[in-house]
Amino acid sequence: MKNNPIGRGVKTLWIPLVLVVVLAVSGLVVYRLHGQFASQDLNANAGSGIEIVQFNPKVMVYDVYGSPGDTALISYFDPDAKVHTITASLPWSVTLSTTLPTVSANLMARADGDQIGCRVTVNGIVREEQSANGIEAQTYCLVKSA
């Protein structure tokens, strides 16, 4: 029998040829499916139908009061829940503002006198008010969710 050079070439190249044909047909099918289901632009309608609602920020006011001229050690949470500790003359007040949907308000105070009070106001509404009497009086105000 004679060796056919074309037969030998087909024997060695038939796997790569089949692989090229399969990849070409697969690519064509995927391309057609993308066209059928419109998945070329994944962000075409991103954000449509979403309405941005404007809202007013929360305004919290911490007040500490007592006998005028007394000093107090005051600790309070800011809107990011960081603790601030100061020594201040009475009366004392601080106003904080946030756009967070909810915030916890915590205020603690100890006076060097015999009376002290605290108040937490959120958006103009008094949410918590406490007072105490006694030697080195101390009090706290807590609003769990403002």
Alpha carbons 54 and 107: distance in angstroms, whole number: 30
Whole-prediction pTM: 0.62
**Do 139 and 117 meet the contact criterion of CB atoms below 8 Å apart?**
yes
Name the strand (E) or helix (H) holding 112. Answer: none
Q: What pLDDT tens digit does each residue of the chain (146 aa) get?
A: 566 777 776 777 888 889 999 999 999 998 888 777 765 566 666 666 677 666 778 899 999 999 888 999 999 999 988 999 999 999 999 999 998 888 889 999 999 989 999 999 999 999 999 999 999 899 999 998 77
Q: Which two tokens stand for residue 22?
A: 């399969």
53-65 burial code (b ≥16 CB/10 A, e <16)? eeeeebebbbbbb
Which residue matches tokens 């006694």? Answer: 134
What SS3 state is found at 16?
A: helix
Q: Is the peptide bond before 91 cis (omega within 30 degrees of 0)?
A: yes
Q: Which domains does the chain possess?
A: 58-143 (2.60.40.2880)
Q: Collapse the DSSP code of 56 into the 3-class scheme (helix H, G, I; strand E, B; otherwise coil) and give the result.
A: coil
